[in-house]
């Protein structure tokens, strides 16, 4: 019997699942080894999954409503391995950049008026705030190479492996010019690698979408830029953009 695998999404842009779908040159061969019981983005049938146990569940997106929270807890009960897919599921994403700030209701109502009562919403949070998560595959979007590398590992009950070095290392490999030397606030030194420096190679500063690198020296990164023309509030906003709900941990480590 083939392992059962499901792909689900909550609050996000579905860019991670789209990245998987766009890996069709390799994906069809890989998926021959499993039974996909749910993958709405790749289905033309609109078929919903059953209520049985799944071997691996991939979930994209953050949790923003009580309805999503209930569904997530149901999926956790039905999954042997649960993987947070992408930055929103791992860190909360852009929608969690104001985590810890007051006035969520005011911010919510600035977008949705008082008559909007379809859902009961709260500040967006990553999956691990509600259920145990076995593994994380960060990125906005995820790296297709990292997904295709780790998918067979999960099928063999091997742990997910991610780069433990910063984006700067991948920048060096590609001989990109360092943007920090131009006084541009690039998050490359404190962001986990895995994206192959997709932004710096186009002369754009790293925005941190793969999340904090283990052991990242945020204090040094901030001190360096404060000595330039930047304010602390500007740098915190830059870190909050993708580090989301992890911002407190990042700041504690400074």
Q: Where does the pLDDT of residue 47 fall: very low under 50, low under 70, confident under 90, or very high at 90 and above? A: low
| Over residues 91-106, mean pLDDT | 90
- What gap in Å lies between CA 250 and CA 207, rounded to an integer? 15
Buried b / exposed e along 16-38 (16+ C-beta atoms within 10 A): bbebbeebeeebeeebeebeebb
Residue 82, pLDDT score: 98
pLDDT > 90 in the chain, percent: 74
Determine the average pLDDT of the residues in 208-229: 92
Strand, helix or coil for residue 241: helix
Is the pLDDT at 253 greater than 80? The verdict is no
Pairing of strands 4-9, 54-60: parallel
Q: Render pLDDT for 126-167 as a digit per residue (tens, 0 to 9).
A: 999 999 999 999 999 999 999 999 999 999 999 999 999 999
Model confidence, pTM: 0.93
């Amino acid at each position: 019997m083939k392992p059962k695998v499901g792909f689900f999404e909550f609050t996000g842009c579905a860019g991670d699942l789209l990245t998987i779908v766009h890996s069709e040159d390799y994906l069809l061969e890989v998926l021959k080894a499993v039974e996909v019981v749910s993958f709405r983005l790749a289905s033309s049938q609109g078929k919903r999954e059953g209520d049985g146990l799944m071997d691996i569940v991939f979930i994209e997106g953050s949790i923003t409503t009580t309805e999503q929270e209930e569904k997530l807890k149901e999926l956790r009960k039905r999954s042997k391995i649960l993987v947070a897919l992408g930055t929103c599921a791992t860190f909360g994403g852009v929608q969690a950049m104001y985590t810890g700030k007051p006035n969520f209701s005011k911010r919510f109502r600035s977008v949705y008026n008082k008559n909007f009562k379809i859902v009961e919403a709260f500040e967006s949070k990553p999956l691990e705030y509600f259920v145990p998560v076995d593994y994380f595959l960060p990125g906005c979007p995820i790296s297709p190479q990292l997904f295709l590398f780790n998918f067979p590992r999960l099928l063999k009950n091997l742990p997910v492996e991610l780069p433990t070095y910063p984006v700067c290392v991948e920048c060096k490999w590609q001989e990109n010019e360092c943007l920090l030397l131009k006084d541009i606030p690039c998050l490359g030194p404190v962001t986990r690698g895995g994206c192959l420096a997709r932004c710096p190679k186009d002369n754009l500063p790293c925005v941190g979408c793969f999340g904090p690198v283990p052991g990242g020296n945020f204090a040094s990164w901030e001190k360096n830029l404060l000595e330039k023309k930047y304010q602390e509030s500007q740098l915190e906003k830059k870190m909050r953009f993708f580090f989301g709900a992890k911002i407190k941990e990042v700041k504690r480590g400074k």
